[in-house]
Amino acid sequence: EARPNVVGSHIVVAEAAFSVRVMRRSLVRCKVDPAMIVQKRLPWQVRKHQLRQQLWKEEDEDEQRDEQTKTPGIVVEIAQAARKRKRDPQLWTNLLDQALSSHAELTPQDMASVLSSMAQARFQHNALLDEFVRSLSYRSNVKAMVTAMLAVDKLGLPTDALRAPFLQQLSGQCDELSFGDLRRILMALARCWQAASVDAEVMDELCNAIVDKSRDCDPRDLVTVPQHLGRLRHLHVPLLSASANAVATLVASRLTVLPLDALRAMDGLLLLTPLLAAAPEAQVKLGELARKCGLLAAALLRHCSPEELWRAGAQLAGAEVAERQVWEVWAHEVLGRRDSESGRSHSAVSIRKRILRQWGLLEPPTGLDSALRMYLRPA
C-alpha cells in the first residue's frame, strides 16, 4: 500500500493557515475608519446623554494629560505671587491681564488655579472673573470646578454662575464619578452652603453614590462627612450612619488622625444632633460620639508643639468652624500652656490679640470669641 504523504499534507495545512492569517490582516487593514462613516443625525436626547457621559469621564485621563502638558508660565507666576503673599495691586493687575489675554490657551485646571491664587491674595479682577467663570461653566472637570467654586466663594462672591450648570450636569451622573470626586463635590457644596440651598434630589443622589462607593474604605475618608451634612442641613440617614460608624472606629482604634479632623468631626456631629429631634435615642448617641471626639482632639492637641497648636487653630478658622464647644477644646489647651505668673483673664486677652494679628482677622470666629469670653469672667 502507498503511504500517505504526511510531510506534504503538513505543508498544505501550514500554507492554508498562513493564507488565513494574511487574509485576516488584510481585512483589518482594509477596515473603514469610523470617522469616515456618515451617520444620520442622532436625536437630541441621545446626543445629550453622550455629551454628559463624555463630560463626566473619570479624571484619570485628564490627570494624565495634565502631567504631559506643561503648566503655562503665567499660571506659575501667579501661583508664586500668591505663595509669597505679594500685595502690590499693580503687580496683580499686570499678571491677571496676561492670564486673561491668554485664556484660550489655558486648561480648566489652569483657570481654576488662577482663581484660587487670586482668592488667596484677596484680589479681584472682574473681567478675568467673568471670562473664566463663563468658560468653566461649559468646559470643566470635577476637580477644576470644585477649586473654582471654593475660590469664588472665598472672594465673597456668589457662586451661582458656576454651581447652577454644575449641578445640572451632575444630576444623573453621580454613579459614574469616583469616590474622591464625590467627596470633593460634597465638600464644595457644604463650603458654599450660604449661597443657596441644593436640590434635595441631587443631594440624595450624591449621598447614595458616596455610601455605595465607601464600602471597605479607610474610615478617615469619611471623618469630615458629618460636618458637610451638618452645614447643608441635609439628614441622609445611610450616609450619616456610615460616617458616624467611621468616626466611632477612629475614636476606638489606634489609626493616626489629625487633631483638626477630630475637631471637624465633632463640629459636624454637633450640627447634626438638632436634626434628630424625632429620634431621641439616635440624638443621644450622636451627642455622646461628639463628646468622645472632643476628648480625642484634646488628647491629640496635648502632644502638639506650639506651632502645630496654633496652626490647628488657624485651620479651624479657615474651615469656618463656629461651634463654641469645638473652640473650647482648642482654647483650653492654649490657655493651659500660659505662663504661670500671668492670670487667666490676661492670657485670654493676649491670645485674642494674637489671633487677630497672626490670622489676619478683624474679629475672631463666633465660637472662639464665646470660648475666650468664658475665661474673662472671674474664676
Query: Average pLDDT, whole number, for the chain?
Result: 82
CA distance 120 to 112: 12
pTM of the model as a whole: 0.74
What is the rounded distance in angstroms from the CA atom of residue 76 to the CA atom of residue 9?
Answer: 71
Q: How confident is the model at residue 197 (pLDDT cuts 50, 70, 90)?
A: confident
Q: If pLDDT is split at 50, 70 and 90, which confidence band does 98 have?
A: very high
- Mean pLDDT, rounded, for 342-361: 83
Separation between Cα atoms, residue 73 and residue 300, nearest integer Å = 41
Is the per-residue pLDDT at 75 higher than 60? yes
Cβ burial of 92 (10 Å; 0-12, 13-18, 19+) is buried
- Other Cβ atoms less than 10 A from the Cβ of 231: the count is 21
155 or 330, greater pLDDT = 330
Closest CA to 62 of 151, 165, 174, 140: 140
For residue 78, what are the CA distances in angstroms to 66, 116, 180, 319?
18, 10, 27, 24
In this structure, what C-alpha cell is assigned to residue 122? 484677596
Residue 105 or residue 32, greater confidence: 105
Q: What is the DSSP letter of 37?
A: S
CB of 266 closer than 8 Å to CB of 248: no
CA–CA dist 143, 186 (Å, integer): 12
Contacts of 160 (CB under 8 A, 6+ apart): 195, 196
Residue 43 gets which letter from DSSP?
P
Apex 351 CA angle, 348 and 356, nearest 5: 130
pLDDT value of residue 21 = 54
Determine the residue type at 293. Answer: C
Write out the DSSP string of 320-369. T---HHHHHHHHHHHHHTS-TTS-HHHHHHHHHHHHHHHHT-SS--HHHH
Question: What are the φ/ψ torsions at residue 142 (nearest 5 degrees)?
Answer: -60, -50
Place of cell 454651581: 163
The span from the CA of 119 to the CA of 30, in Å, is 55
At 257-275, the pLDDT tens digits run 999 999 999 999 999 999 9
CB of 289 closer than 8 Å to CB of 269: yes
| pLDDT tens digits for range 110-151 | 999 999 999 998 899 999 999 999 999 887 788 888 899 989
Local confidence band at 27 (pLDDT 50, 70, 90 cut-offs): very low
Residue with cell 485674642: 352
pLDDT at 305: 94
Cell numbers linked to 281: 435615642
What are the CA-CA distances from residue 31 to residues 19, 20, 37, 104 (Å)? 18, 17, 11, 37
HSE-up of residue 210 (Cα within 13 Å, Cβ side): 29
